Chain A
Amino acid sequence: MSNQEKHWEKSRGLLMITLAIWFVFSIGIFLFGAEMNEVTGPFGYPWTYWFTCQGSLGAFVILIFWFANRQEKIDEEFGFSEREDE
């Protein structure tokens, strides 16, 4: 396998993990919205309510920065990162 194929395989793996986490916070937890809202969550808000106000939104912000850093590492590992003077 060429260097580029390995790079792409790893990038694709990262994409799958990212999308899986995205799925949990955007879709997964809302499958159980009614049940989860009975439980008191962070700062005393009901869980589902808190996720729709802050939790999921914040998780997406963190997820994107985490993804960007991981992808940069993968690019560096295979020598595909951009040179600063380009």
Chain B
Amino acid sequence: MKRTNFIDNLPKVYGIYTGGFIGFIILMAIAEQMGMTAKAIGIAFVAFTVFIYALIGWLSRTAQADAYYVAGRQVPTVFNGMATAADWMSGASFVAMAGGIYFKGYGYMALLVGWTGGYVLVASLLAPYLRKFGCYTVPDFIGTRYGGNLARFSAVVVLTVASFTYVTAQINATGTIASVALDIPFQYAVYIGLISILLCSMLGGMRGVTWTQVAQYIVLIIAYLLPVFWISNKIGAGFFPHFMLADEVARIGELEAQFGFVKNSAADLATVPKGLAGITKAHSAVNATPWAFISLALAMMMGTASLPHVMMRYFTTPSVKAARKSVGWSLFFIFLLYSSAPMLATLSKLSLLDPNLSTGIIGKSITDVQAIDWYQNWNAANLMFVSDFNGNGTVELNEFFMGGKAVVLATPEIAGLPYVISGLVAAGGMAAAMSTADGLILAIANAISHDVYYKIIDPKAETAKRLVVARVLLVVIGFAGATIAAMEIQGILGSVIWAFDFAMSGLFFPLVLGVWWKRANRQGAIAGMLGGLAAGTWYLVWVRTGGSGFLGITQLTFGIFGSAVSLVAMVVVSLMTQEPDKATQKMVDEVRVPSGKTILGKQ
């Protein structure tokens, strides 16, 4: 009864929380006017928000399997939508996406289409049926639908490969933000980030993660939208940027034509710090072939429908009907941020390019630009650089370089917003990276504790023991991820895209056909999962080691090849072996109707 009251009170609880957070922002703004330093504001923002998440994590502690694995299956649709949006939008979405659009334009925006269109597949092909199944984890569905430990274990392998690739990038992002905001070395900041992440998930499992993710969504969406609206109004671009930036987009086109895209020599480029890029592509022109655009979008869409940390969020809704609606709400909340990223890129670019604006730097003298405060700050942070290649004393379009992160992190400062906004943006980035990392670590730990330990190794284990194993795994996987993140092997965005490709290679067709093709059997599913994962991995390694690739499939879209192999292997092997027994076919029939008990609830 107590829990029911809590659910009923959710709008009130989060309403007060949102009000409190806005109050905190105003308090910081006043403190800034009274002379609080930029550094203290940054620390206050990150520390205050992380403390709130940890508090929610502690309040959500539980000793019940249902609460730990699926938040008691009572998360209302809208709140689950917010939690999924936070789960989904990673540090990369928050910090790097606007930057990618800023530099690469149309070709990059395939990711916007891909990372939203995938939810149509989630809603129509999978989420409601997996919810009806009543599983705790994605491999739980594979294991029960196809039967046998090998099928279950193969699913755990694919899940672990995909999610682990993803999670190192997220821990890396929390480390980067913590290191900037708290001014400590990255190697230590990574572990501070990790401890913050574990505080949210360890005691309450899925329940704790759900309620912290809702809180994190509120922080990250305010932190993203406030600067976009503020800058747009400040430079007079329009009161509601999403509907009013057409003139600005056209103006950037004019300026690009006026300045021209001059190609820098290799010797000149060698003097530019690593990781920084100049503007080399038109802002709103179509600069990619249809297939380059579509293949990237398609890979991201199928990957979305195969990533277990997203799918398992729909296991927490009270009903099948609620699961479907909840996917819609998730996408709505994601849409709010994704549709703002191109607007931020536009405003940022215009602020820097337009000579008519006081913030414009192209065409100004090099020494003037080098004397600007914000230039010096971001140059020191290795995110901004100008150089007079042609020796004419003024900054040209091809002589200005910026890091991808700077578009989100530095634009408020460039546009002359108070520092409190930069502190808010740091808190938002931290929220985005933490929420995704939590979802991913939990997905891996739950799959290993539930599917490998409980279902395969020790089916008689008591609940208390299972939850201890789950928590120990959570910590172990978190530390493994942080250790790899601290080595800084891959960039943030590249490894995120790979995770999608791995997931779609191994899981897309085994999941979809499990519901939509009764004839699919165990042998076929195992062939599909392992064959797809192996083929995708082989293609990635081949292209990375100098292979030419085929059909225009790159290292960012290798999942298209992997999933094609997976589909063929699954269909051929299924047809060559015996059809599933009557009980399995009946089970598929039951999955297809929402009414009645869940499949696993009956056993």
Contact = CB atoms under 8 A, between A and B. Distances in A.
Interface of A: 4, 7-8, 11, 15, 18-19, 22, 25-27, 30-34, 37, 43-46, 48-49, 51-54, 56-58, 60-61, 63-65, 67-68, 71-72, 75, 79-83, 86
Contacts of A54: 242, 339
Most buried by B among A8, A32, A68: A68
Given A57-B335, A82-B595, A45 B325 contact: no
A71 B285 contact: no
Given A18-B124, A25-B117, A33-B286, A61 B332 contact: yes
Contact of B116 (A44, A60, A71, A80): A60
A27 B110 CA distance: 10
Nearest to B113: A56
Contacts of A43: 243-244, 246
A47 to B, nearest CB: 10
A49 B109 CA distance: 9
A52 B104 CA distance: 13
Most buried by A among B120, B301, B320: B120
A82 B113 contact: no
B319 A86 contact: yes
Nearest to B343: A53
A81 B325 contact: no
B595 A52 contact: no
Given A4-B593, A31-B294, A57-B112, A64 B339 contact: no
Contacts of A72: 321, 324
Given A57-B339, A60-B119, A75 B594 contact: yes
A62 to B, nearest CB: 9
Contacts of A30: 110, 113, 290, 293-294, 297
B595 A80 contact: yes
Most buried by B among A19, A43, A58: A43
A81 B596 CA distance: 9
B342 interface: yes
A19 B124 contact: yes
A72 to B, nearest CB: 6
Given A68-B123, A68-B325, A81-B321, A53 B117 contact: no
Interface string B566-603: 00000000000000000000000100111101000000
Contacts of B202: none
Contacts of B353: none
Interface residues of B, number: 53
Nearest to B132: A82
Nearest to B125: A15
A30 B109 CA distance: 11
Interface in B280-323: 284-286, 288, 290, 293-294, 297-298, 301, 319-321
B120 A82 contact: no
A56 B117 contact: yes
B331 A53 contact: no
A18 B125 CA distance: 10
B88 to A, nearest CB: 13
Given A82-B321, A82-B594, A83-B595, A18 B249 contact: no
B298 A64 contact: no
Nearest to B324: A68
Nearest 4 A-B pairs (CB), nearest first? A44-B246, A68-B324, A26-B117, A64-B328
Nearest to A51: B113
B200 interface: no
Nearest to B593: A80
Interface of B: 106, 109-110, 112-114, 116-117, 119-121, 123-125, 128, 242-247, 249-250, 284-286, 288, 290, 293-294, 297-298, 301, 319-321, 324-325, 327-328, 331-332, 335, 338-339, 342-343, 589, 592-595, 597
25 contacts: A15-B125, A18-B124, A19-B120, A26-B114, A26-B301, A30-B290, A30-B294, A31-B290, A45-B245, A48-B106, A53-B109, A53-B339, A56-B113, A56-B117, A57-B339, A58-B339, A63-B120, A64-B120, A64-B124, A64-B331, A68-B321, A68-B328, A82-B319, A82-B594, A82-B595
Contacts of A63: 120
A58 B335 contact: yes
B293 A33 contact: yes
Contacts of A68: 123, 321, 324-325, 327-328
Given A22-B121, A25-B117, A53-B342, A64 B327 contact: yes
Nearest to A68: B324
A57 B300 CA distance: 14
Most buried by A among B113, B293, B319, B325: B113
Contacts of B325: 65, 68
Most buried by B among A4, A37, A64, A72: A64
A25 B112 CA distance: 12
A31 B294 CA distance: 8
B116 A56 contact: yes
Contacts of B320: 82
A11 B320 CA distance: 14
A45 B106 CA distance: 13
Contacts of A25: 117
Nearest to A72: B321
A19 B597 CA distance: 28
A57 B594 contact: no
Given A26-B297, A27-B294, A56-B113, A67 B332 contact: no
Contact of A22 (B117, B284, B343): B117
Given A19-B124, A49-B249, A82-B319, A57 B338 contact: yes
A37 B324 contact: no
A19 B335 CA distance: 20
A26 B114 CA distance: 8
A11 to B, nearest CB: 7
A15 B110 CA distance: 24
